């Protein structure tokens, strides 16, 4: 292969890797929103149990639902931050290709 063909292949690799990182970042955002939604469901369930149902231990059930909601929310944020750091580290590996790509455009 000649040098021009290699340059085009490298540019395609950079584009694919960048798009893959962007898709992963958007997926990470969606996952965080899913954790938040699930935590909200549990918190609403906690609010509703004691109000709607007339049970002996309604306050305890409400507390359990709130604890579960906070636990789910904490896990969601921890996973989000870890994945975001991982994506930032992955972006560094594209740098070698990027330098070559920018040099080819000049």
What per-residue confidence (pLDDT) applies to 43? Answer: 94
**pTM of this prediction exceeds 0.95:** no
13 and 100 in contact (C-beta within 8 Å)? no
Q: Consecutive 10-residue runs of the chain (106 residues): their mean pLDDT?
A: 55 76 91 96 90 83 94 96 88 59 57
What per-residue confidence (pLDDT) applies to 88? Answer: 84
> In whole angstroms, what is the distance from residue 48 CA to residue 6 CA?
63
Using CA atoms, how far residue 18 sits from 15, 24, 50, 91, in Å, is 5, 10, 49, 8
21 and 87 in contact (C-beta within 8 Å)? yes
Hey, where are the domains in the chain?
A: 3-105
What per-residue confidence (pLDDT) applies to 81? Answer: 95
106 and 62 in contact (C-beta within 8 Å)? no
């Amino acid at each position: 292969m000649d040098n021009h063909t290699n340059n085009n292949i490298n540019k395609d690799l950079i584009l694919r890797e960048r798009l893959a990182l962007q898709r992963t970042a958007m997926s990470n955002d969606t996952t965080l929103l899913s954790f938040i939604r699930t935590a909200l469901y549990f918190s609403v369930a906690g609010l509703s149990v004691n109000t709607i149902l007339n049970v002996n231990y309604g306050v305890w059930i409400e507390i359990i639902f709130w604890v579960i909601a906070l636990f789910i929310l904490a896990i969601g944020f921890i996973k989000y931050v870890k994945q975001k750091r991982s994506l930032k580290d992955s972006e560094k590996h594209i740098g070698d290709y990027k330098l070559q790509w920018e040099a080819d455009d000049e």
